[in-house]
């Protein structure tokens, strides 16, 4: 992103941030005063935000927050609730397996580590919570692809099996991943337990898998259909 683009984004976000609690609409003059953006530039940005659904006009042609803001608020609330549901179970998974436990979601061609509980071992598999990583070449990414309905022989096998155990994309690591499916059959995300191959060996995979399948069923019952 260029400096010009980033500056435009900051200005647009500043417009959305200018709306005070308890006031429904603002005139162009009021917005210009609050944001210190020249009216001609401000009007252009407001029109773009209006087209995207972030702003709308009231009967007096003042600007007010649009329906997309409500949609984002709903998404945020669902994520916040999801953390309350997911994180305690990740902690149980981490404590019972001894390895790092994460919950990922798919975002187009990326996987997002939404929540994570790191292993208490000093040497461990490491990914930052909030990291956006490619779907390809990862155990949990393959599960997300498989249960998103993507085609392919390997993905079909994962769907039939209901899980994937394989070496991780980081050297000397292994991972076990399972989908989290809602009661309606939709994929809410995926759980993955990852650790060093020297410690997280084949005999530990089955134990981890049994715990993960139990937890994924519990989570699936909590997510909306």
CATH code for position 56: 1.10.10.10
C-alpha distances out from residue 108 to 126, 141, 157, Å: 23, 11, 22
In terms of domains, do 140 and 176 share one? yes
pLDDT at 82: 84
pLDDT at 15: 93
In terms of domains, do 52 and 84 share one? no
139-187 pLDDT per residue, tens: 999 999 999 999 999 999 999 999 999 886 676 888 999 999 988 889 9
Q: List the domain range (segments joined by +) for residue 79.
A: 74-222
In terms of domains, do 41 and 107 share one? no
Q: Which one of 28, 45, 65 terminates a domain?
A: 65
pLDDT at 2: 59
pLDDT under 70: residue ranges of the chain: 1-5, 21-23, 76-78, 80, 123-126, 168-169, 171, 225
CB 122 within 8 A of CB 98: no
Q: How many domains does the chain have?
A: 2
pLDDT at 80: 60
In terms of domains, do 86 and 161 share one? yes
pLDDT at 130: 82
SS3 state of residue 201: coil
C-alpha distances out from residue 204 to 71, 79, 114, 166, 207, Å: 42, 31, 25, 13, 5
How far apart (Å, rounded) are the C-alpha atoms in residues 214 and 220? 10
Q: Give the list of residues 6+ apart from residue 94 with CB closer than 8 angstroms, or none.
A: 100, 101, 117, 118, 119, 120
In terms of domains, do 108 and 183 share one? yes
Q: Give the list of residues 6+ apart from residue 31 with CB closer than 8 angstroms, or none.
A: 15, 18, 37, 42, 46, 63
In terms of domains, do 61 and 85 share one? no
pTM here is 0.64
User: What are the backbone dihedrals phi and psi of residue 201, each rounded to the nearest 5 degrees, phi first?
Assistant: -95, 175
The CATH number that applies at residue 80 is: 3.30.450.40
- Residue carrying the six token digits 């252009």: 44
Q: Which one of 37, 65, 93 terminates a domain?
A: 65
pLDDT at 170: 72
Q: Which one of 65, 93, 119 terminates a domain?
A: 65
Pick the closest to residue 183 from 217, 140, 215 (CA basis).
217
In terms of domains, do 45 and 102 share one? no
Helix, strand, coil percent content, the chain, rounded in steps of 5: 45, 20, 30
């Amino acid at each position: 992103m260029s400096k010009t683009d980033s500056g435009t984004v900051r200005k647009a976000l500043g417009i959305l941030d200018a709306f005070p609690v308890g006031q429904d609409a603002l005139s162009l003059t009021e917005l210009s005063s609050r944001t210190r953006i020249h009216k001609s530039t401000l009007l252009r940005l407001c029109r773009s935000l209006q087209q995207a659904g972030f702003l709308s006009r009231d009967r007096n042609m003042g600007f007010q927050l649009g329906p997309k803001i409500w949609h984002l608020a709903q998404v945020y609330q669902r994520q916040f609730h999801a953390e309350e549901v997911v994180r305690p179970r990740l902690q149980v998974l981490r404590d019972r397996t001894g390895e790092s436990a994460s919950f990922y979601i798919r975002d187009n061609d990326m996987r997002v580590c939404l929540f994570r509980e790191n292993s208490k071992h000093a040497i461990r598999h490491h990914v930052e919570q909030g990291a956006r990583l490619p779907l390809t070449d990862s155990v949990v990414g393959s599960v997300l692809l498989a249960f998103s309905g993507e085609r392919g022989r390997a993905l079909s096998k994962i769907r039939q099996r209901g899980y994937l155990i394989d070496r991780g994309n980081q050297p000397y690591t292994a991972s076990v991943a399972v989908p989290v499916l809602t009661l309606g059959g939709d994929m809410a995300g995926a759980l993955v337990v990852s650790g060093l191959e020297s410690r997280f060996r084949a005999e530990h995979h089955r134990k981890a898998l049994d715990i993960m399948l139990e937890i994924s069923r519990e989570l699936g019952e909590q997510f909306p259909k």
